[in-house]
Copies of this chain bind each other. A is one copy, B any other.
């Protein structure tokens, strides 16, 4: 297993180069992206020639804020929530704290970062980063638990950054409505995962107005491209698609769980876009699935854990089922 697969998901070209086949032959279960994307033909045509219009940016932020249940005035579009995390590491200055396990950028975005347990009150001003639901283990915390923690972190002079990149299926657990209300709470949202359009690089930072002003000054007058404006605005306004997808994703995740359990694997997590399996020989399982051209997500610090994206099509699930049953060579 090469280092590339331990860093981020979605490295199909490298997988094909390492294990064979063309990238198109592979079933990519290495990410938490919805494989059934929002239909692009519902978006208006995109004008790449002009500078993005400030009114279109405001309209995108408004549609996104409504979808998040947040005040649109505290929503700032950014070129990907991963980039926003890194900007925050620089802007906030304070040392970082991140859960274990966590999305790797939660620690990387800070010059120094130490682990923290959920709910632990920091002794000093630090920037705590939490994903809800968490990535990779899918742990879901209630908004009440998170807001209680936020109060205690703020009491120590610190910030809480809640990365809600995978929260679209859990509106009840979101704290987006408190963004701009609590002066030390920052919420990040991601467009690409739930809508299955990660190539767009569109995210949002929600927070108190003084911080938002600094972020806007840093990303400048045209923070996102014309395609993100056109597609993002239409997708966030598509309440019917959002509702149908919120209903469908848990059904797909349940079907994956049944397959994993049949092969003695114990799936964890509340997020219907991925499942976390622990207590397995992750390197062996990764290689066995890779031999069947199925890419999954291993972790350098957890040799017993593997994350699997949730397939949409029954054919993809059956292919995973066969690969788990018989090992390499028949995927």
Q: Residue-by-residue, is A205-249 near B (CB-CB < 8 Å gives 1, otherwise 0)?
A: 000000000000111111111111001000000000000000000
Contact residue among B37, B50, B218 (Cβ-Cβ distance under 8 Å from A49): B37
Interface size class of A (residues with CB under 8 A): 35 or more
A200 at the interface (CB under 8 A from B): yes
- The CA of A12 and the CA of B196, in the complex, are separated in Å by 32
Known contacts A86-B219, A201-B224, A228-B225: does B28 contact A50 (CB below 8 Å)?
yes
CB under 8 Å from chain B, chain A span 45-82: 46-55, 79-80, 82
- The CA of A4 and the CA of B54, in the complex, are separated in Å by 10
**B37 lies within 8 A of A199 (CB):** no
Report the minimum CB–CB distance from A6 to chain B (whole Å). 13
**A223 lies within 8 A of B9 (CB):** no
- The CA of A105 and the CA of B10, in the complex, are separated in Å by 35
Q: How many copies does the complex hold?
A: 2
- The CA of A55 and the CA of B28, in the complex, are separated in Å by 17
A127 at the interface (CB under 8 A from B): no
Q: Residue-by-residue, is A23-49 near B (CB-CB < 8 Å gives 1, otherwise 0)?
A: 000001001010101001000001111
**B87 lies within 8 A of A52 (CB):** no
Report the minimum CB–CB distance from A39 to chain B (whole Å). 11
Contact residue among B11, B49, B192, B221 (Cβ-Cβ distance under 8 Å from A199): B49
A121 at the interface (CB under 8 A from B): no
Besides the contacts A48-B198, A86-B218, what 10 more A-B pairs have beta carbons closer than 8 Å? Answer: A31-B51, A33-B49, A48-B231, A49-B198, A83-B223, A198-B222, A201-B222, A201-B224, A201-B225, A201-B226
The residues of A with any CB-CB pair to B shorter than 8 Å are 4, 7-14, 28, 31, 33, 35, 37, 40, 46-55, 79-80, 82-83, 85-87, 90-91, 105, 108, 192, 196-201, 217-228, 231
